[in-house]
Amino acid sequence: MAKVKVKEKPVKKKQTLGMKILSVIFTIISIFYVIPVFVVLMDSFKTNAGISKSPFAFPTSETFSGLDSYITGMFYGNFPFWRTILCSFFITICGVVLILLCTSMCAWYLNRSNSIVCKIIYYFCIFSMVVPFQMVMFTLSKTADNLHLTTPWGILIIYLGFGAGLAVFMFSGFVKSIPIEIEEAADVDGAGPLKTFFGIVLPIMKPTFISVAILETMWIWNDYLLPYLILDKSYRTIPIHIQYLNGSYGHSDTSAIMALIVLSIIPIVIFYFACQKYIIEGVVAGAVKG
């Protein structure tokens, strides 16, 4: 007689009491992190008087301003807001691409070369991560003026210098986990260094590549101090445009500031959620392996 196979139901792992307690605790903590974002979104639809009187209350018929705050923030002053958006997108996209391309190639070469010079360069990159920006910002600002780096194209070089430390560190950790036999096989097949890197190494580095891209994008997009010190007055990023809404003698258009903060959050949130599945894998691969 033929035996009838009975499908076994998958056994569900029961959560222990400790795991349930941790889930509740972290849920509460996450709510506290979300509350400030919700308050900013809520206040962006309120008048200045409504925000001053009750900043944590929901908009009422008296305090609701609709889209007036967004319109006021975008058309504030004589500087077109579309230029601000284009400047922020240009600096962020080009800066991140430059950092990813240069640092990934640098990390690959530093790990595949056993020379003392490469080791010294690697440790210099690591050391740059612990140097506070405030220690070099005045010298950096003077140097940027002398070298005419006060444009969106010039500031990309500065971002490359400041972003190289973390990127090289993460890429180096991942490159150590790549078997060198793969590259040796490509060399036997006649592939040069560039073809080996872009055809073999770079696709393997995808998790760390995306993880570094997320971290660098969030940094450059939200950065205020470096563009404020370096860029010429004819260029503005979104954080600088928001700062100009703070007028003199303590006067500030709070509702317009909240509206522009919401607009500045939207692109980075969309980018983060689109790539979030790679961030943990990339950070672990770049910092632990090897």
pLDDT at 289: 46
Kindly state the average pLDDT of the residues 166-186.
Answer: 86
User: Do residue 188 and residue 95 come from a single domain?
Assistant: yes
Is residue 141 in a domain? yes
Identify the band that residue 183 occupies on the pLDDT scale cut at 50, 70 and 90: confident
User: Is the confidence at residue 184, as pLDDT, over 70?
Assistant: yes
Is residue 252 in a domain? no
Is residue 228 in a domain? yes
User: Do residue 51 and residue 88 come from a single domain?
Assistant: no
User: Do residue 224 and residue 282 come from a single domain?
Assistant: yes
How high does pLDDT run on average in the chain? 83
Identify the band that residue 94 occupies on the pLDDT scale cut at 50, 70 and 90: very high
State pTM to two decimals. 0.82
Kindly state the average pLDDT of the residues 135-161.
Answer: 89
Kindly state the average pLDDT of the residues 207-224.
Answer: 88
pLDDT at 59: 85
Is residue 73 in a domain? no
User: Do residue 196 and residue 59 come from a single domain?
Assistant: no
Structural domains of the chain, count: 2
Identify the band that residue 158 occupies on the pLDDT scale cut at 50, 70 and 90: very high
Q: Which amino acid is at 251?
A: H
Residue 287 or 151, more confident: 151
User: Is the confidence at residue 280, as pLDDT, over 80?
Assistant: no
User: Is the confidence at residue 271, as pLDDT, over 80?
Assistant: yes
The 3-class SS string of the chain reads CCCCCCCCCCCCCCCCHHHHHHHHHHHHHHHHHHHHHHHHHHHCCECHHHHHHCCCCCCCCCCECCCHHHHHHHCCCCCCHHHHHHHHHHHHHHHHHHHHHHHHHHHHHHHHCCCHHHHHHHHHHHHHCCCCHHHCHHHHHHHHHHCCCCCCCHHHHHHHHHHHHHHHHHHHHHHCCCCHHHHHHHHHCCCCHHHHHHHHHHHHCHHHHHHHHHHHHHHHHHCCHHHHHHCCCCCCCHHHHHHCCECHHHCECHHHHHHHHHHHHHHHHHHHHHHHHHHHHHHHHHHCCC
User: Do residue 131 and residue 227 come from a single domain?
Assistant: yes
User: Do residue 102 and residue 35 come from a single domain?
Assistant: no
CATH at 92 = 1.10.3720.10
What CA dihedral angle connects 67, 70, 73 and 74, to 10 degrees?
-110
pLDDT at 286: 47
User: Do residue 165 and residue 282 come from a single domain?
Assistant: yes
Is residue 155 in a domain? yes
Q: Which residue's entry shows tokens 């980075």?
A: 268
Cα angle: 103, vertex 108, 114; to 5 degrees = 125
User: Is the confidence at residue 252, as pLDDT, over 80?
Assistant: no
User: Is the confidence at residue 95, as pLDDT, over 90?
Assistant: yes
32: domain range?
Answer: 19-66
Give the domain-ending residue among 40, 66, 92. Answer: 66
Is residue 246 in a domain? no
Is residue 139 in a domain? yes
User: Is the confidence at residue 81, as pLDDT, over 80?
Assistant: yes
How far does CA 277 lie from the centroid of its chain?
A: 15
User: Do residue 132 and residue 194 come from a single domain?
Assistant: yes
Residue 78 or 202, more confident: 202
User: Is the confidence at residue 165, as pLDDT, over 50?
Assistant: yes
User: Is the confidence at residue 249, as pLDDT, over 50?
Assistant: no
User: Do residue 108 and residue 214 come from a single domain?
Assistant: yes
Kindly state the average pLDDT of the residues 18-43.
Answer: 88
Kindly state the average pLDDT of the residues 91-116.
Answer: 91
Residue 206 or 78, more confident: 206
Q: Which long-range contacts (CB under 8 A, 24 or more apart) does 148-157 make?
A: 149/230, 150/230, 150/231, 150/232, 151/231, 151/232, 151/235, 152/87, 152/90, 152/91, 152/94, 152/231, 152/235, 154/230, 155/91, 155/95, 155/226, 155/227, 155/230, 155/231, 156/91, 156/94, 156/95, 156/98
User: Is the confidence at residue 251, as pLDDT, over 70?
Assistant: no
Is residue 166 in a domain? yes
User: Do residue 136 and residue 211 come from a single domain?
Assistant: yes
